[in-house]
Structure 1
């Protein structure tokens, strides 16, 4: 094998490796499934750089990031609650176990949580009016 062939193979492997790490879908997995929003210029520039390498890699990079939503910046309102649209789910706290409550939360929100997680805090709430006071006492 000639030196030129070795260099070409190393270049192709490096190029493909760079494409994998420069993809917004891989860099920002938490952004997957976002809907349209403000485009992240950094991700768009990385995807656009692939247009310099070739039309196909550039189009693929843009297609993947637009399809998954990873090219969009996170919503600036994330972490803020809309108290007007909170839905109450009622259950009997005397007969419902923590595991059952975790199942209810998963069913209603599609988020799998465990009360054993050290980051989870829970409180007993009787009315919606109590929520702002409870959430304001929690430090982020």
Structure 2
């Protein structure tokens, strides 16, 4: 009898924990009730992390976020910036002006990124790396 209660309690606890693993539902409760839209890459990425802990919790997280609509971006928002606008942040020397880029991202998406943080790691690329991906440099 004691073992049965432990088993039922364990199953209940695991079920509740997997239900709470739906990231979008927890982090963006105001998005609940949406039925369509653009998928938020942040929520999708966080749900994908749930797949690292096991297939079932990850699938449950995706399922809950799709069912509640929390995985979709709010109406009129996007997760990307127009490439034409990004061209304006490149200076004459071919380097990106972090202040202009930060202002553009904040204006277009409403999110402020710490681009002036001294801990920010900048990666440089080369024309050869672009060619390896089939891309052509255009600055």
Q: Which TM-score applies when normalising by structure 2?
A: 0.40
Which of the two has higher C-alpha Rg?
1
Q: Which TM-score applies when normalising by structure 1?
A: 0.40
